[in-house]
Amino acid sequence: MSNNFLQAIKFTLPWETGKWKNGVPPEDGGYTNDPNDPGGETKWGISKRANPDLDIKNLTIDKALERYKLKYYDIYKENRNFRIDFVDLDLVSPALACAIFDTGVNCGVNRAWNWYQTAKKTKDPVKNLLGLRDAHYTNLKAGRPDLIKYYKGWINRLNDLKKFCQILEDESTAP
């Protein structure tokens, strides 16, 4: 697995499964089946709604990582999915790869793709992409009162992602 994918999953997986103690993921993969969660049954951050073909309750970490790589990382480089301009996340900065990946996991790959198309035209695509994500959460909170209970978690995750991306950017420019 590439460095960019490993960095992206390093950030995303703990947010998807619950906080890890001593770097060890929860044994149950953070399994939930909250009837109010639009994703439905979820384990290792992989939801039944987005992956109806999977047996979520029995999903292993290895199968979850395969699904992340296929549906949330490699998908952006496949021209058949995005008929215009595509991107290989292994060929962009680690910060941008992580921002696109986590946004796709949390907000959907089509939305992440559209935001990337806007953000890539700016001086700071990572900051712009994450700004679009922030605005999306604000709009969700205003338009869907039933989702307000998730807002604080979304913003905490986004703030952590901003910090993580800054660390990745600093590392990539260090002498």
CATH of domain 3-170: 1.20.141.10
Domain map of the chain by residue range? 3-170
pLDDT, tens only, 36-54: 777 789 999 999 988 999 9
pLDDT, tens only, 93-125: 999 999 999 999 999 999 999 999 999 999 999
Stretch 75-83: mean pLDDT:
69
Give the chain as a 3 state SS string: CCHHHHHHHHHHHHHHHCCCECCECCCCCCCECCCCCCCCCEECCEECCCCCCCCHHHCCHHHHHHHHHHHHHHHHHCCCCCCCCCCCHHHCCHHHHHHHHHHHHHHCHHHHHHHHHHHCCCCCHHHHHHHHHHHHHHHHHHHCHHHHHHHHHHHHHHHHHHHHHHHHHHHHHCC
The whole-model pTM stands at: 0.91
